[in-house]
Structures are given as structure tokens and as C-alpha cells.
Amino acid sequence: MAGCPEAVQAQEDHRRLLRRSPVAGSSFEVAEAVTAWWWAQKWPEERLSPMRPEAAVPAGEDPQRWRILARDLVTYPETVTLARLLASPAWQLRVAADGGGHLPYRLADVPCVPSELGHRLRRSWLTERLAACTHGPLFAWTYQCVRRRMLVQTYYLQLRLRGRGILGCN
């Protein structure tokens, strides 16, 4: 791992996240699904990740085979960065609020998601790619974040209306 200092730092960040957040495990699982989905896209703009398998390939290993086997190792730093963001209650509230009270059709409908990820992962090109997404694990997470907020707001509105006698008990 001497050739991948960002993976060593990610391991420290991951341990810290696991100690501090009760949702770290589930956030990491979602982040793994997201980075695996990104890995499969083989975006031509990606420059960092393709270099990592070469830095960690064992002597005599077929590079194509190693690319498949090393996916989780290669994407680990991005996975940890994403997991830290997904586990943040403040980030979840920001995503829900940025949805504007409407379920998103694409990630561009919740602009803080593509822009923040492009910034945090130091990939400005990723912002535009993500904005166009209408499916995949990151879209599903964002959709549920906005939906959960809408359900909570509806529930509290109903409670207020019942308290005022405007809405009868059903």
C-alpha cells in the first residue's frame, strides 16, 4: 500500500467514522454500491482510479483480472469520503431541503448532491455526470432522503391541522 497513501488515510478516516456514527455501517454499504456503480461506468475523464490498480498490482498478475479483483481497494478512498458525507445528519437535511419539497427526477433536481460530490472527490467533471443521473444507488439514496423529509413534513402538518380541528380523525 506504499503506492497508495490515500488508501491509508481513508482507513484512518473509516475507523473514525465507525467510532463516531451509529449509521456508519449502512452509509458505507450505500457508498460501496455507489462507487461500484461509478467504477462500472468507465468514464473517460477519470484519471486517478485507473492509476491505483497499477500501483497495487502483485507481480505476475494479469492487469485486466486485477482490475476486477481490486475494485474495492481502488475505490476505497472515494467510498470512505462518500460514506462520511452520507452518514452526516446535517448533509441529509441539506439534501432534503435542496429537493424543494419535490421528489427528484434526476440528481440535478437536488443540485447540492452532484456539486458537493464533485468538490469533495476533487473531480469537477463528476458534477455534470452526476447531474444527469436518473437511476443508480446515489439517486436512490437522494430520492429516499427527500421523500423521508416530505413524509415527516406531511405528518406534522396533519398533527397541526388535527389540533386545530381542521382535519378530522380518520
Residue 48 pLDDT > 70, yes or no? no
Tell me: do 61 and 119 sit in the same domain: no
Whether residue 119 is predicted with pLDDT greater than 70 in this model: the reply is yes
The DSSP result for 89-133, as a single string, is HHHHHHHHHHTTTS--SSGGGSTHHHHHHHHHTT-HHHHHHHHT-
CA distance 149 to 13: 28
Based on the fold, state whether residues 133 and 78 are members of the same structural domain. no
Residues 66 and 98 in one domain: no
Assess whether 80 and 95 both reside in one domain: no
Listed residues 41, 67, 87: the one ending a domain:
87
Count structural domains, the chain: 2
- For residue 47, the model assigns a pLDDT of 75
The residue ranking higher by pLDDT, 44 or 118, is 118
pLDDT at 45 over 80: yes
Whole-number mean pLDDT of the chain? 85
Are 59 and 96 in the same domain? no
Determine the 3-state secondary structure of 39 from DSSP: helix
- Angstrom distance (rounded) from CA 123 to CA 128: 10
Instruction: Classify the phi-psi angles of 140: left when phi > 0, otherwise alpha if psi is within -120 to 50, otherwise beta.
Output: alpha
18 and 2, same structural domain? yes
pTM for the whole thing?
0.81
Mean pLDDT of 6-18: 92
| 56 and 99 both lie in a single domain | no
* 97 and 73 belong to one structural domain: no
Rounded to whole angstroms, the Cα distance separating 32 from 72 reads 8
Q: Which of 56, 87, 118 is the last residue of a domain?
A: 87
Each residue of 56-99: pLDDT tens digit? Answer: 677 788 877 777 777 888 889 999 999 999 999 999 999 999 98
The pLDDT assigned to 53 comes to 60
Q: How many beta carbons lie within 10 A of that of residue 123, not counting itself? A: 20
Measured CA to CA, the distance from residue 170 to residue 162 in angstroms comes to 10
Return all residues near 102 (Cβ < 8 A) that are at least 6 apart: 109, 146
Report which of 82, 126, 133 is spatially closest to residue 105, judged by C-alpha positions: 133
Range of the domain at 153: 89-170
